[in-house]
Amino acid sequence: MVVETDGLRVAQGSLPQQIAWLTHHHFEKRFKLIYLDPPFFSNKDYGQFSDEWESLTAYLSEMEAWLLNVRPWVDDRGFMVLHCDYHAAHYLKVIGDRIFGYDNFRNEIIWHYGGRRQPASRHVNRKHDVLLIWAKTEAAYFNPVFEAWDRDQYVAMKRQKVHVDEDGREWIWGHQGKGRSHAYRIYLDEHVSRGRAIDSVWDIPIINTSAKERVGYPTQKPEALMTRLIELTTGPGDWLADFAGGSGTTAVVGVKLQRQVWVGDINDEAIRLTLDRLHRTPGLKG
């Protein structure tokens, strides 16, 4: 254990070592969110950590052990989120269903990050990752999360005639069941300002090379992605955990959002970067 303060634990160690600490300190069912962003079976060496495997079977049996290991620590109303990509996502879905239950699978989130595109003849540009989300039980609920949108996007989606009332406000007809297509007025300004409920495709750019949040850790995830996920699955004061935290993105966003945070990683340089980022994060207690 490197840091142990009120509402924050930072641990250097492998996932099983971190789990041993949790056992010792009675963290059973403590976490509303466990987020894992493990190696993806890309068969690359990233310098800071290796994602090279003898075989797909070897990789999958390691990931199966991770999922089995973390399940007892998820709150009955909590979520397990596994970040992966096309290299192994479809195999991991099957393994996760066996451990968390097919019926507890809630979403496959597509994190679409876009970016430069080139013509390719063997596959089209691969520009998304996958977040697989399981609830621990059926009693787990997401918080409502909205994204900003504008009048033109709303009108394009509705494809209805826009009316203007005596005060100059724009509105369209709201429907209420069959045959009641002119049931009530929806005022565009009111509706648009509320934002739009998110769906399962998240368009969030990767961190650009000059971004302030970039710390130079390979595979560092954007704070905007973690903000949405943490707001969706946890509330202020809840515990969340990331046992393969890398540069500490989950921890930094968790602290900013007043969550209690467990973060660990096997790599000591990752822990050094995490601590450095946490020290610069407003809202850290102690």
- CA 159 to CA 154: how far, in whole Å? 9
CB of 30 to ligand SAM, least distance (A): 18
What is the contact mask toward ligand SAM in residues 224 to 263, using x (rule: CB under 6 A)?
-------------------xxxxx-x--------------
CB of 156 to ligand SAM, least distance (A): 34
Token pair of 185 as six digits: 């007025």
Output the CA–CA distances (angstroms, integers) from residue 102 to 99, 116, 257, in the order listed. Answer: 9, 36, 31
Helices 268-279 and 249-256, packing angle to 10 deg:
20
Are the beta carbons of 127 and 112 closer than 8 angstroms? yes
- Tell me how far, at minimum, the Cβ of 243 lies from ligand SAM, in Å: 6
Q: Return the number of the residue (84 or 140) whose C-beta is nearest ligand SAM.
A: 84
Site track 43-82 with ligand SAM (rule: CB under 6 A), x = hit:
------x---------------------------------
Work out the end-to-end distance of the chain between its first and last CA atoms, rounded to an integer number of angstroms. 16
Structure tokens at 171: 């509105």
Piece of 37-45, 121-129, 161-169, 253-261 that binds ligand SAM (CB under 6 A): 37-45
Token pair in block for residue 176: 């209420």
Q: Please state, in angstroms and rounded to a whole number, the distance separating the CA atoms of residues 56 and 111.
A: 23
Rounded Cα gap, residues 82 and 108, in angstroms = 10
Task: Provide the angle, in degrees to the nearest 10, between the axes of the packed helices 89-100 and 56-70.
Answer: 30
Options 252, 266, 271, 278; binder of ligand SAM; rule CB under 6 A = 266
One of 8, 10, 15, 34 touching ligand SAM (CB under 6 A): 15
Residue from the set 133, 207, 253, 270 that interacts with ligand SAM by CB under 6 A: 270
Q: Measured from the CB of residue 220, what is the shortest distance to ligand SAM in angstroms?
A: 4
Interface residue list for ligand SAM (CB under 6 A): 14-15, 37-39, 49, 217, 219-221, 243-247, 249, 265-267, 270
